[in-house]
Structure 1
Amino acid sequence: MKSDRPQLAAMQQILREGDVIYIYKLDRLGRSLKHLLEMTSDFEKRGIGLVSINDHIDITTAQGRFIFNIFASLAEFEET
């Protein structure tokens, strides 16, 4: 698994509060569920939104955060 992602690191450095990241699918952002959860938690703390177009998830809304957490819990359950 390739963990060196210079473009992702560069994007994370320039993000500001109020920015919204649009991605095609959640699995294109995180290399693992743990990595994805860490990044989305960091985005939320920094006031940065995330919208996954294909997954129909928008963590800038309460409903989107709820759905994201359900999907994350199901994925974690599948790993055990």
Structure 2
Amino acid sequence: MNQRIGYASVSTDDQHLHLQRSALKQVGCGLIYEEAASGKTATRPELEQCRKVLRAGDTLVVWRLDRLGRSLPDLVQIVADLEQQGVYFESLTEKIETGSEAGKLTFHVFAALAEFERSLIRERTQAGLAAARARGRAGGRRPKLDEQQVREIKVLLRDPGIHVADVARRYGVSRTTLYKHVGVIAPRL
């Protein structure tokens, strides 16, 4: 038997699930998974549990699109995964549902816009990196040690009485950074 399963989430503890819960019950969701998780949090155990319960022919219902995905690309990926399982998706506020051809079309327009947005971001990033290279700026993090410091450290480490950890502390870097920049083969504490 096909079920309508709800998923409700809030991003902070001072927000409440009452409105979402009520709306989901009103449209016939017998089972509702509820979660309070930050939008930045990658792990959402209730959503994962909800997705495990869904079977082909079921419908996952949310109050609003932003309750399901942390970003538009994330939302598109979740709905695509559901579609592969034969699970439908419905968002009450935006009146989007993937159970009909018109609903699928609407959602795929959103997906196309998300892909377009990713392409624009990628293009801008590449253009910015090319412009920086043209100005003589290499990308990436600046080295922790300059050439003069590397020469000084090499001289210091020739003395077997000097410990790598002491030199690292003196220059404000880790031992690993010293090994990387100076090429110390046998680590000495």
Tell me whether the two structures share a fold, i.e. TM-score over 0.5: yes
**Aligned 1:62-73 pairs, distance under 5 A:** 62-73=101-112
Distance (Å, rounded) in 1 between the aligned partners of 2:114 and 2:57? 28
Confirm or deny that 1:74 pairs with 2:113. yes
Query: Greater helix percent: which structure?
Result: 1
The residue type equivalent to 1:52 in the other structure is S
Q: Which residue of 2 aligns with 1:20?
A: 59
Residue identity (%)? 38
**Aligned 1:1-80 pairs, distance under 5 A:** 1-77=40-116, 80=120
Distance (Å, rounded) in 1 between the aligned partners of 2:78 and 2:110? 15
Distance (Å, rounded) in 1 between the aligned partners of 2:83 and 2:47? 17
Q: Unmatched 5+ residue regions in structure 1?
A: none
TM superposition score normalised by structure 1: 0.87
TM superposition score normalised by structure 2: 0.40
Q: Unmatched 5+ residue regions in structure 2?
A: 1-39, 121-189
Of 65-74 and 32-41, the range deviating more from structure 2: 65-74
Q: Check conservation: 2:59, 2:89, Cα contact below 8 A.
A: yes
Q: Which has the larger radius of gyration?
A: 2
SS at match of 2:43: coil
CA RMSD of aligned residues (A): 1.5
Distance (Å, rounded) in 2 between the aligned partners of 1:78 and 1:17? 31
How many residue pairs get aligned? The number is 80
Q: Check conservation: 1:33, 1:76, Cα contact below 8 A.
A: no
Q: Check conservation: 2:59, 2:87, Cα contact below 8 A.
A: yes
